[in-house]
Every structure is written in structure tokens, then in C-alpha cells.
Amino acid sequence: MKNYNHKNIVYTSHTFFRLSDRQKESFTPETMNEFLFEKTPVLVGIQYNGCYAVFYKYIRQRFIRIILDIRSDVIRVVTFYVIDKKQLPVIK
């Protein structure tokens, strides 16, 4: 992330589509940028489709899973989910 700035982050129409109106008040592009630039992920993995799954601690026993399509000049935030700790991938 150190090679990118807020101008390099693109939110697609898919990023926030499944959120309720109330959730859209909490999860804004500014909120997502805070996770991406100011917080340290607890886990990062590459998916079969080439996108990155990045996991951040959220509240209580919950995490945010952000799916990123990282290119040399731009990062597309494809979507994100709030998940429970038990939904974190297991590293074998």
C-alpha cells in the first residue's frame, strides 16, 4: 500500500451493493481507506482469480474481508464482507 495513495483507490458499483442504507452510512469510501492505509491486516491471501483477500480486525470477534484487484496504477475494491472469527481462513 505504500506505493499507492487515496487517488489510486477505485470503488466499483459492486463494492457497496449488498449493504443496507444504514450500513452505507457506516461503510463509506473514507472508512474503507482508513482500513487500507492506516490499519495492519491480520491476514492477506491471493485468491484463485488473482484478487487479494485482505482481512482486518473489526469489532469484538469480527473481521472485515476486503477483496482487492491490485494493478500497477490502481487498486479496485471489488467487495467486502464483515465476517466472524470462525470464518477466517485456516493456514495449513
Residues 76, 51 contacting (CB under 8 angstroms): no
Among 4-8, 46-50, 74-78, the minimum mean pLDDT is found in 4-8
Residue 1 placed within a domain: no
Residue 16 placed within a domain: yes
Reported as a single tens digit per residue, the pLDDT across 72-88 is: 999 999 999 889 999 98
The CATH number for 19's domain is: 3.30.2310
Residue 91 placed within a domain: no
Reported as a single tens digit per residue, the pLDDT across 10-41 is: 998 889 888 888 888 888 999 999 999 999 99
Cα separation, 22 vs 25, in Å, equals 5
Residues 87, 76 contacting (CB under 8 angstroms): no
pLDDT for position 32: 93
Residue 92 clears pLDDT 80, i.e. is over it: no
Residue 92 placed within a domain: no
Pairing of strands 9-11, 75-84: parallel
Long-range residue pairs from 51-55, CB within 8 A, at least 24 positions apart, any chain: 51/78, 53/89, 55/83, 55/88
Tally of domains within the chain: 1
The average confidence (pLDDT) of the chain is 91
In the chain, DSSP assigns E strands to 9-11, 43-46, 52-57, 62-70, 75-84
